[in-house]
Structure 1
Amino acid sequence: MSTAILDAKKIQAQKLEIKTLIPADPKTVYQLRGKRLAELAQESGLTDYFNLLKLLVNAQERVAAETGLQEENCFGLKPKFNLEQAQPMAQANFEWGNYWQSILLELVSDLLPKLSVTGSSELSEVLKELVGVKPQTLQDYAEAMLLGHFAKVPAKYTLFIWAALSVYWSHWATDLASEIAKSAESHKTLCPVCGSHPIASVIKDQPRAGLRYLHCSLCETQWHQIRAECTSCGEDKGVFLWAESETKSAIRIESCDTCKGYTKMLFTNIKPELEVAVDDLATLLMDQHVVEQGYQATTVNPLLLAHEQ
């Protein structure tokens, strides 16, 4: 892999009115994510897992599109948010209740008949176990995961619990992010809406090529972050860009020598079909190379919950 040093001052000098936040659009996010999973399933080397993820994401899309009484059953009434508080959708900052458990039941109900067709009996048993877990235990699992303590939750459940939480959070984050955007600033390490870690950086071509947004791993909001600054510690010195070739690679890694962290960068201005969670997962070999150099991921992928924060 080749590396390059980034110059933060040069990038900051390119001033232009920038959207500090791009609100989540859950239905579209899940639709595009499912499409990308289908495209990469055969070539990923993880065909069975990608096919499972596609079924799960399709179920998320269906629930996200609910309207009327079914929408109320899944999401409840709109929670009260304090917009004067930083990260108003952080789990400690509002009453989020247990409606997400209704979403979990919807996801499982969608998945079980499809898994029976594919012959995934072992996974079907896991899902049946999951819906039999006591509500308070599920709530404890959710709180642990929202705090980043994934190891406190049985690994076989984490993917599905996070999927349900994400549908709930992204549903309410849409309008909230629009309000926060009026006063939000760039340079946030964590999501300004819910306080979660990003999945990766997405490089866009509007309103100009090269703008960087971090994509939230929970509520799907995107927030602006200047390039050539570490997305974890904010340092602008010792920031390197890694790529598999010296040509314009569509997927790269940005590392920081100060905190020894790294984040994946997806250049959708070069390759528009890239999807932040799917293509991050599909390029884990790049991560392996950087980890061997002593760096650690500062991001969380909802399709592979392997990080303890």
Structure 2
Amino acid sequence: MPKQIIPAGSDPTAIGEVSAPPFARLPEPASLFSRRAQRWNALAAGHDLGPYLRFLAALADVQHRIQEGLAKPEMPDAAARERARSFAMPPLDRNSLALDMASQTLDRLVAAASKIEKPGAAADALDRLRQATPAKRAGMVRNVLAGAIAMEALAEHVYVAAALQVHLARLAARLDAPALVPVGEGACPACGGPPASSIIVGWQGAHGSRFCACSLCGTLWNYVRIKCTLCGSTKGIGYQEIEGGSGTVKAETCDSCGCYVKILHQHKDPGLDPIADDVATLGLDMLVRESGYRRGSFNPFLIGY
């Protein structure tokens, strides 16, 4: 597959456009998943992964619809959030996540997902998940949160991750964005999750700024450009893209840690979604792996790639 390698240490976007951005932008779950469903449907047209993208669009629509009537998720108390801030820890502690509340969301998602069109393997996985004991489901939740998913159960975990995205986005949306602080390289300041990708935004007051996008709660956090989002190195940074493409999705590679994370130029195409377009550019992943780099980001809908 042809490629273009942009010299290491350079970023083709005009740095001079960058303004003073906020550190974090919280998700808006009321519109997040419906917009993603629309994006996946748009990407599916004429795409080699069309059937899978249409399935994900239907699943994102389920994520949107199951929120109606869900009880507000239980938030950490003010003292716990302040304590987390003082120790530069995310206020949403993934280790003490209220599994009962997450389970309610998962139950709803399983029921609603049974009515959408899906590939045979996805239907079988949903049946297995429906029949799983509460203890086994709780174990799957912990697997997704830890990013440790067994190969033989990848498909079931897609549904679990989808439910967790809804639950964590609803939690993160209730945080105080100005109170969030950096908690470490490659970690979401709201929930501690890894990034799915990063985006260069075109928002008023933040045009040209780079934000990492949490793979689970959907929080965006500002991050310095031409710097590895995983290890923090500023040396040996390069960019690869598919030759002849739109130039809006590139892989930012790091020679220090040997990993890459995609960077989406949303300021050029406002329709780009950090989860959906990551999946739709799987061909770029294959290209970059041929160069010896490992995928360093996490996307629950690319588990196994």
Task: Tell me which interval the TM-score lies in, with the shorter structure as reference length.
Answer: 0.7 to 0.9
Matches for 1:214-293 after TM superposition, within 5 Å: 214-245=212-243, 249-293=247-291
Which residue number in structure 2 is paired with residue 96 of structure 1? 98
CA RMSD of aligned residues (A): 2.6
> Residues 21 and 206 of structure 2 are in contact (CA less than 8 Å); yes or no, is this contact kept in structure 1?
no
Q: Once structures 1 and 2 are overlaid, which stretch shifts more, 145-154 or 31-40?
A: 145-154
* Alpha-carbon spacing, 1:281–1:111, altered in 2? closer, same or farther (3 Å): same
Which residue number in structure 2 is paired with residue 52 of structure 1? 55
Per-residue deviation, residues 12-56 of structure 1 (Å, max 9, x unmatched): 898743210000111221111100111111322122211211111
SS at match of 1:252: strand
2:192 aligned residue (183, 192, 195): 195
1:43 aligned residue (41, 46, 49): 46
2:29 aligned residue (15, 20, 26): 26
Which residue number in structure 1 is paired with residue 147 of structure 2? 148
CA distance in 2, matches of 1:97, 1:194: 15
> Residues 240 and 256 of structure 1 are in contact (CA less than 8 Å); yes or no, is this contact kept in structure 2?
yes
Unaligned residue ranges in structure 1 (runs of 5+): none
How many Å apart are 1:5 and its aligned residue? 2.8
Per-residue deviation, residues 90-146 of structure 1 (Å, max 9, x unmatched): 312x3422222221221122122333xx7x566434323312211011111211221
CA distance in 1, matches of 2:54, 2:245: 32
* Alpha-carbon spacing, 1:146–1:152, altered in 2? closer, same or farther (3 Å): farther
CA distance in 2, matches of 1:101, 1:157: 14
Instruction: Look up the equivalent residue of 2:272 and give its one-letter code.
Output: L
> Residues 144 and 152 of structure 1 are in contact (CA less than 8 Å); yes or no, is this contact kept in structure 2?
no
Matches for 1:34-183 after TM superposition, within 5 Å: 34-64=37-67, 66=68, 70-72=69-71, 75-80=72-77, 82-83=80-81, 84-85=83-84, 86-92=89-95, 94-115=96-117, 123-151=122-150, 154-176=153-175, 178-179=176-177, 181-183=178-180
Which residue number in structure 2 is paired with residue 4 of structure 1? 7
What is the TM-score with the length of structure 1 in the denominator? 0.86
> Residues 188 and 225 of structure 1 are in contact (CA less than 8 Å); yes or no, is this contact kept in structure 2?
no
> Residues 227 and 237 of structure 2 are in contact (CA less than 8 Å); yes or no, is this contact kept in structure 1?
yes
Per-residue deviation, residues 265-306 of structure 1 (Å, max 9, x unmatched): 110111111111111111111111111111111101122223
Q: Once structures 1 and 2 are overlaid, which stretch shifts more, 216-225 or 103-112?
A: 103-112
CA distance in 2, matches of 1:217, 1:126: 22
Instruction: Look up the equivalent residue of 2:101 and give its one-letter code.
Output: Y
> Residues 186 and 226 of structure 1 are in contact (CA less than 8 Å); yes or no, is this contact kept in structure 2?
no
Which residue number in structure 2 is paired with residue 211 of structure 1? 209
CA distance in 2, matches of 1:287, 1:192: 26
CA distance in 2, matches of 1:129, 1:35: 28
What is the TM-score with the length of structure 2 in the denominator? 0.87
* Alpha-carbon spacing, 1:99–1:287, altered in 2? closer, same or farther (3 Å): same
Percent identity, aligned pairs only, is 25
> Residues 40 and 276 of structure 2 are in contact (CA less than 8 Å); yes or no, is this contact kept in structure 1?
yes
